[in-house]
Amino acid sequence: MGRGLGYGRAMIRWLAIATLAAICLLVVSVECPAPLTYRAGEGWTYEPVGGEKWRRTRAKDQLDVAKAAFDEKSYGLASKAARRTVKVWPLSDYAPQAQYLLARSYEEKRMDERAFKEYQKLLEKYPKVENYPEVLQRQFEICNRFLAGQWFKLWGYIPFFPSMDKTAQMYDKMIKNGPYSPSAPQAQLNIGTAREKQREYFMAVKAYEKAADRYHDQPTVAADALYRAGLAYNKQAKTAEYDQSVAGLAINTFGDFSTLYPTDPRVADATEIVSGLKTEQARGNFEIAKYYSKKRRWDAALIYYNETIIKDPNSTYAQEAKKRIEEVKVRKAARDKELKAKADKAAKDPTPK
């Protein structure tokens, strides 16, 4: 009896689900003016009544539909017709232009991430496309919009979040498509800018150094890259209280910049920054020396006071360090004398048997 009751409940539940599904299907079929249709090679699409009017049996004719729709700013129809051209006739002479129109339609609809991906497909599938430089430029401009703060969209429609990481990745793809295109040097520099916005200063330096190395034959780009690398190191140095090595890297980078591009108008700024960094290095060494002095570790204190003078001999820290060195030497001599006296006394005392 228990089994029969369970079976009856299962049947009722199944009938309820089936009824609900039937009602939903009926509502969709009655109210939806664009039923969902699947076609092999095209996927799922919404087809309005009389929707076959946009479909053609030849690649050229289908592309003409996409062109006409795009010219009329009917970007939904343009993308649909262009996508069908590419999927049904991927090896035809009309496929590259259809793929381009597909990407342009997404760009016009302000779906930039999707547009970038479609441009990427165009360059990967049809590398001999005639307007290759234009496509690269369009990818570059899309990346620039994201660098400026444009948000990436959830599911391609809902603005969700800005991402400098994704922006840097898109720039990288664009550069790989055309490493020596007119916009590639600036794109490589922009990767560094994106990383700086993330406060990933070491990653920014790597991007700038790559630009300086790859485009060394373009002095304007190489000089800008080297200067920006120095600035990025400088920013990193300010986040690390006692990390003197980063300040040293910044000083070396600005030194290279000033040596290689002595006529650059930013040399004066670089010199001023280096001066500030050296003062900061002196201050850091001075603070470490003070710490060791408090611990009565006179040898270590002397090392760091001397480093203070070496790093920036004209700073106020260097002048103060010179005074403290004399004090430390007196204390060190007194300690050494005391230690020697203890050692002499221990040597005179007989060793207990």
Average model confidence (pLDDT) across the chain = 86
- Specify burial of residue 321 (Cβ count, 10 A radius: 0-12, 13-18, 19+): buried
- The arithmetic mean of pLDDT across residues 289-303, rounded, is 91
- Predicted pLDDT of residue 158: 81
Residue 219 has pLDDT above 60, yes or no: yes
Confidence of residue 12 (pLDDT cuts 50, 70, 90): low
Q: Any idea which of 202-211, 284-293, 313-322, 327-336 has the lowest mean pLDDT? A: 327-336
Give the per-residue pLDDT at 19: 55
Tell which wins on pLDDT, 285 or 85.
85
Tell me what pLDDT residue 280 has: 83
pLDDT at 350 over 80: no
- Measured distance CA(194)–CA(148) in Å, rounded: 9
Give the helix ranges, DSSP H, for 89-183: 95-108, 112-125, 132-147, 164-177
User: Does residue 191 have a pLDDT over 80?
Assistant: yes
> Does an H or E element contain 39, and which?
strand 36-39
Per-residue pLDDT band for 244 (boundaries 50, 70, 90) equals: confident
SS3 content of the chain, % helix, strand, coil (to 5): 75, 5, 20
**pLDDT digits 0-9 by tens, 40-52:** 544 555 555 445 6
Of the segments 12-26, 191-205, 289-303, which one has the largest average pLDDT value?
191-205
CA dihedral 281, 283, 285, 286 (to 10 degrees): 160
Average pLDDT over residues 151-174: 90
Q: What are phi and psi of 297, to 5 degrees?
A: -100, 80
